[in-house]
A and B are shown apart, each in its own frame.
Chain A
Amino acid sequence: MAEQSVPGSDEPNEPLLRLQHGAKTFGPVVALADGTVELRAGEIHALVGENGAGKSTLVKILAGLYHPDAGDFQVAGRPVAFRSVADSKAAGISVIYQEPTLFPDLTVAENIFIGRQPRGALGLISRKAMRSAARELFDQLGVPIDPDRIAEGLSIADQQIIEIAKALSLDARVLIMDEPTAALSGVEVERLFAVARSLRDRGAGILFISHRFDEVFALTDRITVMRDGRYIATHDTASVRVEQIVREMVGRDIDQLFPKEEAVIGNAMLRVKGLARAGVFSGIDLEVRTGEIVALAGLVGAGRTEVARAVFGIDPYDEGTVELAGRRLKPGDPQAAIDAGAGFVPEDRRKQGLVMDLSVARNLTLTLRNSLARFGLIDARREQRTAAEWSKRLQVKTGSQEYAVSTLSGGNQQKVVLAKWLATEPKLLIVDEPTRGIDVGTKSDVHRLLSDLAGRGIAILMISSELPEVLGMADRVLVMHEGRITAELSREDATPESVMHAATASMEGAK
């Protein structure tokens, strides 16, 4: 449906924006060696590439956040050199960054309009006008978010939606979206796409970054591929196949995407009974056996993360029990869970999974700090060795073990998170959106790894909003809706339809 009219695609019009041979280095790391992209008016243009390919870096150059070390940058045919984000905004470029950047203390409406709030008498801000403008935006996106609520405590999905509303409200000529759908569920994604298409039809240019090929092919007109900081190729979406894009991205063929292998499923490792927390979830019963991958599916906001946090002891709960390997876990005590053999890969790796300012090595050994100690003192040599070993096992790409983990790309960061839990040799691994924002190559690595772990008898509880991942990986699927488990589906019964039905509709899906 996207291909009917691509105005300007065959006219020699100046593109809205063009970057050629853009380069950016951070200390010794070359984040972008040869970034090239061209965005025309009235097109949606995908930018794809593996984790660390330099997509976000390129976006930040276009946004004026980074000054490129080299490169030729034109907006509407004129060369520009943005000195700040304000410059790029003035040039009609609006950006949704990969990581939501909201102001937690401000209201939702103010977050959208900060710096350009509607004004009333005496040049003072009119809150009323601002509120109704925000409502209009949310109506357009079809989401019920209270504009007067403060942003603190919003789920990542809601934050992402606000970012989208913010970018839309700017009414920009160029809209850049760096993985806007990573946190969103199917319905919300559809709404976003509808909005994006209408913007395109009004002549805006949209640069869209995503690791999900179905989205890329459903939405975009052209695709630019990057690898290792370099421009590889640009294709018309209509005339290219997924396999080719993947090959260009990773430089090799990717085998099956979801390779969950059969494993011997043993006794119950995790047993949760009647878990409840007022206003969040209730009546949660679940069981994960050794060698089994149980997926917790549902729409964003269904309460899956909250259940996992409660199980692991991060959050308290009001009722119920959690048993691991037959022993009851003390509520609200993650260390007890860890000691009992649990590991938790959280959904927000920047804030929860990693200590961004600490080095790769320190992050890797953080979970092992007690076992690395001899007579109460840490054995520094062993610490180094362990870190090096695990970062090699998971093929973490980094200049040095001593670099801050914040300098790694998203996918590599996620590997560090996984590595630090695998190093504890867990019996139960809870993974919350393990492949959010991860490229195909790494993604299949992660899947292979999870399957491998299950094969070795580890029980895995996986929360995922990606249906293919759920269906491909899980031995059993539990579906949550509004804080309750509404269906339990075996591998055979789990189909996109049955899962979505249980996730959206209600109790009927439980049968």
Chain B
Amino acid sequence: MTTTETRPPSAAQPEAKRNSPLSAVLRARELPVALALVILVTVTAIANPLFLSPQGVKDLLLNATIIVILAVGQAIVIITRNVDLSVGSILGLVAFMTGSLFANVEGIPIPVVFLAGLALGAVLGAINGLLVTLAKVPALVITLGTLYIYRGVNNAWAGGTQYFAGDRPDAFGALSVDTFLGFPVITLLALVVVVVVGVFLAGARSGRDLYAIGSDPEAARVFGLPVGRRVFLAFVTNGLLAGLAGVLYASRFNSVGATTGSGMELDVVAAAVVGGVAIFGGSGSVFGAAIGAILLTTITSALTALRVDKFWQQAIVGVLILAAIIIDRIASVRTARKLRISEARDV
């Protein structure tokens, strides 16, 4: 802020304002969603104190955990101007494999199951990534295809078999019950995922490449960024995270089978979008996506806790998604107008 000797003072002023950390926070796309979340929780807690009881908080966090992880993965992919609709199917396959491993391999160590789940997820993500990057085909079409295929494989493999919580070791189930400093263990895991991925995207060169690619893929190619490799890795990471979510699903819920996780894809995309990740790539953050995911899961719990007629709940979720997109839009239009007027002064 002191490097402006050669510049006209009028140009320096708005800039100095724009750079202060406080205003950076205030301009963040994540802010409206975060605010909505705080208001929602506060209002609900006033109406129904049980909502913030230790058990209530634990439930809220646990509900959000799996979708947060999926939304983080999805955000990575969306930022590169792609999308992965197959996450629900990947989660289902991995969850079923988890159940099947515990049921069929006597005394298999839990870390091995985690690794296997991550590996399967990564492989399925890699298939998406390969098809998208090698064949240069739109991701929406490819992953709509693999959504069907992975689900089909899951059905063929599982048939009517389901594995239940009772088939798995207690220590595995305990992961989604036990808490550490008041936080459920798997929630902490999700938190680590969010922070690591978030820092990577914001601060690593290859992370920034993803934004550049999403912003203009053709320009990225012309500039010489390794577009194919980065997009491929985005899909693999997303698959990996969907795999993690699959294993955690098996830890938290009772049964895993042929239909586990189906229909989840649009919720995940919705979470990312609500959290301010632009659907056409190039902007947004995983923190936003995570907050979006928490907001969407919390709204359901909140409406139940407020005893809102259950028939209204889904409609309200829809309105909320729309509101989030509209607010985001208003914010960005306002910035654009400010930019136009301030720049006209600068000339």
A116 to B221, CA, bound (A): 16
Return chain B residues, CB-CB under 8 Å to A135.
3-4
A85 touches B341 (CB 8 A): no
What 9 pairs across the A-B complex have the smallest Cβ distances? A85-B224, A105-B282, A124-B203, A101-B219, A103-B215, A279-B341, A105-B215, A279-B344, A103-B212
Find the B residue at minimum CB distance from A89: B224
Residues of A that sit less than 8 Å from B by CB: 64-65, 84-86, 88-89, 97, 101-106, 110, 114-117, 119, 122-125, 132, 135, 139, 142, 144, 146, 148-149, 153, 278-280, 301, 482-483
B209 touches A114 (CB 8 A): yes
Query: With A119-B205, A135-B3 given, can you name 19 additional A-B contacts, CB distance below 8 Å?
Result: A64-B224, A85-B222, A89-B224, A97-B222, A101-B222, A102-B216, A105-B281, A105-B283, A115-B224, A117-B205, A117-B208, A125-B202, A139-B6, A144-B7, A148-B15, A153-B336, A279-B341, A279-B343, A482-B347
Find the A residue at minimum CB distance from B226: A86
Return chain B residues, CB-CB under 8 Å to A122.
203
Partner of B204, one of A64, A86, A97, A124: A124
Return chain A residues, CB-CB under 8 Å to B6.
139, 142
Return chain B residues, CB-CB under 8 Å to A149.
339
17 contacts between A and B (CB under 8 A): A85-B221, A101-B218, A101-B222, A103-B211, A103-B216, A103-B219, A105-B211, A106-B212, A106-B282, A110-B212, A114-B209, A114-B212, A124-B203, A125-B208, A146-B15, A146-B346, A279-B337
A97 to B216, CA, bound (A): 15
Return chain B residues, CB-CB under 8 Å to A85.
221-224
Among B64-102, those with CB < 8 Å from A are none
Please tell me if B18 contacts chain A, counting CB pairs below 8 Å: yes
Dominant secondary structure of chain A at its interface with chain B: loop
Known contacts A110-B208, A117-B208: A101-B344 contact under CB 8 Å: no
Count of interface residues, chain B, beta-carbon cutoff 8 Å: 44
Among B310-347, those with CB < 8 Å from A are 336-337, 339-341, 343-344, 346-347
Return chain A residues, CB-CB under 8 Å to B15.
146, 148
A124 to B15, CA, bound (A): 24
Please tell me if B8 contacts chain A, counting CB pairs below 8 Å: yes
Return chain B residues, CB-CB under 8 Å to A124.
199, 203-204
Which of A97, A103, A139, A482 has the largest number of chain B CB atoms within 10 A?
A103
Please tell me if B31 contacts chain A, counting CB pairs below 8 Å: no
Q: What 0/1 readout, one digit per residue, does chain B (42-79) give for beta carbons within 8 Å of chain A?
A: 00000000000000000000000000000000000000
Shortest distance between the CB of B171 and any CB in chain A (Å): 34
Please tell me if B11 contacts chain A, counting CB pairs below 8 Å: yes
